[in-house]
Amino acid sequence: MKDLTILKPDDWHLHLREGIVLKNIIKFSSEFFGRAIVMPNTKNPITSINKCISYKKSISEGLPENSKFEPLMTIYLTDETIKDELIEGFKNDVFFAAKLYPANATTNSSQGVKKIENLYEIFEVMEELGMPLLIHGEVTDPKVDIFDREVVFIDKELLPLIQRFPKLKIVLEHITTSYAVSFVQENNLGATITPHHLHINRNAMFFGGLNSDFYCLPVAKRENNRIALRKAATSGKKCFFLGTDSAPHLRQWKAFCGCAGIFNSPVAIESYIQVFDEEDSLDQFEKFASLNGPNFYNLPVNKEKIRLVSKSNEIPKFIEVIDNNKVVGQIKPFHAGEILNWQVEGIVN
């Protein structure tokens, strides 16, 4: 039996949702992650200090007793974002970072940014403040093929942005292409990589019939991209760090409308370490999971450690959503019904 003890990891990209779903799923992140950057694309997006404070309060209330988990909150940028609100929120530790969704790029992004140039004044202050900009890097032009949206975004939107704001601290989120892997390294950006983009290529969405379980945005790409992502994540390079993009959708909705998002927080650590094991890179796992993120964000690393052991780990087919002792829904986790080779054994001090 193999085992590995690493500093407690953080999740640098997470969707916690609201209400009953939040209450049911937060334990999967708070148990073995120290911190998480919480995405602001709630139904009514987190566009102001007040909304952010009340969202953070509901997250804290949903945490198990005595949990030390720390949610790091973000502001959802729109064409109407008020500069002073952003500055005040950042200076008072309400906002840890700002999230840029191109309008209609993904779930709950209709109020996102219509024209990136409209935010230049905002980026100028963020650059001065050292406030991180987290980017969903896809264009939304319907003429651009869905599999090319990340690459076109990099060329048309990201490159001009970094040329104009060279000191802006940027994270290209959930990268999916070898093109992004190279661009991030060449331009001193940070990038999160999800477990699902390390495991699946675009065939997964079409295997055994149209399968929305593997539909997420950006969509998984060709196999050569998955290989490039696995190489990047397991390289230990400082610019690549863990961000699950765990995005739960109730089964009834996912099956009905095929919403984009893969719920991986119940299996994320095990899913990632399996990749590092397969790539013979277990010695690089702590960098990716627990060191590179804090280093990028200038935060201390977590004090506690977790121990992982290689043993057969059967993943449940569904996670139940419970309200007032009644099952009100189900969410399918990533790797549902599969057997993974690793398990988190627990926290060690």
Q: Which residues are marked as active site? A: 245
Please identify, using beta-carbon distances, which residue of 73 and 247 lies nearer to ligand DOR. 247
Judge whether 323 is annotated as a binding position.
Answer: no
Interface ranges with ligand DOR (CB under 6 A): 15, 41, 106-107, 136, 216-217, 245, 247, 260-261
Stretches 63-71, 120-128, 241-249, 336-344: which one binds Zn ion (CB under 5 A)? Answer: 241-249
The nearest distance, CB 203 to Zn ion, in angstroms, is: 22
How many CA atoms lie less than 13 Å away from 237 in the CB half-sphere? 19
The Cα-based distances of 261 to 87, 156, 245, 332 in angstroms read: 31, 25, 8, 11
245 is a contact residue toward Zn ion (CB under 5 A): yes
Cis before 218? omega within 30: yes
138 is a contact residue toward Zn ion (CB under 5 A): no
Please identify, using beta-carbon distances, which residue of 113 and 217 lies nearer to ligand DOR. 217
The one of ligand DOR, Zn ion, none whose footprint includes residue 217, by CB under 5 to 8 A per kind, is ligand DOR
Contact 233, 195 (CB under 8 A): no
Contact 261, 216 (CB under 8 A): yes
Provide the mask over 96-135, with x wherever binding to Zn ion is found by CB under 5 A and - wherever it is not: ----------------------------------------
Task: Spell out a b/e string for 250-269, using b for 16 or more CB atoms within 10 Å of the CB, else e.
Answer: bbeebeeeebbbbbbbbbbb
* E strands, the chain, in order: 3-7, 11-14, 35-38, 70-76, 97-100, 133-135, 170-172, 190-193, 240-242, 305-314, 319-323, 326-331, 339-348
10 is a contact residue toward Zn ion (CB under 5 A): no
Return binding residues: 13, 15-17, 41, 99, 136, 174, 217, 245, 249, 260
> Which residues lie near Zn ion (CB under 5 A)?
245
Return binding residues for Zn(2+): 13, 15, 99, 136, 174, 245
